[in-house]
Structure 1
């Protein structure tokens, strides 16, 4: 997708954070086709709806890496970046919930399935296997300033063989 910057319906706006948007607006919100360039040089070209990346687009990082993707931003500000299969998340991509929980990893038919990383707002981090959106298989859960459990998981519970290491002073 290439933005035609000389289109008369496009406007350019610079922001105090160093970002620049060239594209269509609905009121003060990005809406329609547009290109946003962050101050670090990262670029998104594609569809916008009510100020949010939604639909097909192209991400370009300063390193030159390009990724054609689809964004789905829900009304509650949850964001999914990746590919869809029958309107379900299906790929190895990232989802950010409005409560700031982040998952990056494999999706199959709308469920976190395969390898991934989940980080909660508390700083707790799980890295390992998921099945139908459960912590399920082999994985490591790190609770910030507390302990690390590495072992087997079944339906969100640590089950089977594992090891706990307590962090900090005892």
Structure 2
């Protein structure tokens, strides 16, 4: 998620200030004053100049510390030193244009400071041992903005992330990722509020779509997965099982007009066994179908119950009587035989 790894970059910048090369470290001596300053990473032809006072051979007090490589200035520090190391409020400037202004302790960024990178990135806030640490504000080269807690150079704790491309997150962070409870608004305007695990929507959450729909339930890696409820913009509602973003398993679908299906789902379709009841606002109000479904259509063995007591029991295909079946009138008269496309074959159904 993060454009740059701040802890690595800050450490690299710090090491650049004190030279590059091996990590042994040694004392460097200004040839003019004889003052010693700490060189974190010695390198051949690396020299130093210190304009301030010395105490017991070590640079101490306010002054300007300049590092050279092969006679060319690579970085400078303006501020106080203690025992040969930057200590207090100072400013570090690097040849590539990077600049740090803030607190130092024992030669490291420690306390409050502002670090401005030559590429346009910027950080303002707490530092500890050369890393972003505590409360801070970071803006990346892309213009992404993070405000909140840092731990050892990483987004960790409570924070707010505003993406330059659009979108915003506010909540818990861990190891540079959304982790814990949070609210995310995407560039398109969709909103998610709930659990995050390692940057992914995982756990319990509520997703409100800009088009008007709303989902409440379980998430896994950003997908609706587990138990959930989706309310459509038109008022229709599904409650039940989800698998990888699709209605799959057991569920109940209720239409705004009062119709209702309860049963099996597969890939967002009625599939398996189910019961469909027509609501009071339907022209078939009070009728009920109980039986098989295939790819969203009434197909297989089933019973159709009419509100007046009439009943059909038998085979269906694409919502019509098709195959062997028995039609029982409300007065008890029954007719059995073959049906095709909803009509009896070779006989007549006559209830009166």
Whether these two folds match at TM > 0.5 is yes
Correspondence for 1:114 = 226
State the Cα deviation string for residues 14-41 of structure 1 (Å, max 9, x = none).
Answer: xxxxxxxxxxxxxxxxx968xxxxxxxx
Equivalences for 1:158-169 in 2 at 5 Å? Answer: 158-169=270-281
Q: Counterparts of 2:168 and 2:246 in 1: how far apart (Å)?
A: 28
Q: Is the 8 A contact 2:168 2:186 kept in 1?
A: no
The answer as to 2:220 corresponding to 1:105 is no
Correspondence for 1:154 = 266
SS of aligned partner of 2:188: coil
Q: Is the 8 A contact 2:248 2:268 kept in 1?
A: yes
State the Cα deviation string for residues 89-124 of structure 1 (Å, max 9, x = none).
Answer: 101110011101100000011111110000011000
Q: Counterparts of 1:88 and 1:47 in 2: how far apart (Å)?
A: 16
CA-based RMSD of the aligned residues comes to 2.4
Q: Counterparts of 2:221 and 2:162 in 1: how far apart (Å)?
A: 25
Q: Counterparts of 2:220 and 2:254 in 1: how far apart (Å)?
A: 25
Q: Counterparts of 1:49 and 1:134 in 2: how far apart (Å)?
A: 30
Q: Counterparts of 1:159 and 1:122 in 2: how far apart (Å)?
A: 23
Structure 1 residues not aligned, in runs of 5+:
1-30, 34-44, 58-67
The answer as to 2:181 corresponding to 1:77 is no
Correspondence for 2:171 = 56
Select 1:127's aligned residue among 213, 229, 239: 239
Select 2:207's aligned residue among 95, 117, 125: 95
Count of residue pairs brought into register by the alignment: 118
Q: Is the 8 A contact 2:181 2:196 kept in 1?
A: no
Q: Is the 8 A contact 1:73 1:79 kept in 2?
A: yes
- TM-score, normalising length from structure 2? 0.31
Q: Counterparts of 1:46 and 1:32 in 2: how far apart (Å)?
A: 6
Give 1:168 deviation, angstroms: 0.9
Give 1:87 deviation, angstroms: 1.9
Structure 2 residues not aligned, in runs of 5+:
1-145, 149-157, 173-179, 286-352
SS of aligned partner of 2:257: coil
| Structure with the greater alpha carbon radius of gyration | 2
Equivalences for 1:1-20 in 2 at 5 Å? Answer: none
Greater relative CO (CA pairs within 8 A, separation 6+): 1
Q: Is the 8 A contact 2:239 2:252 kept in 1?
A: yes
SS of aligned partner of 2:280: coil
Q: Is the 8 A contact 1:56 1:70 kept in 2?
A: yes
SS of aligned partner of 2:212: coil
Q: Counterparts of 1:105 and 1:138 in 2: how far apart (Å)?
A: 15
Q: Counterparts of 1:49 and 1:32 in 2: how far apart (Å)?
A: 9
Give 1:49 deviation, angstroms: 4.8
Runs ≥4 in structure 1, deviation > 2 angstroms?
Answer: 45-50
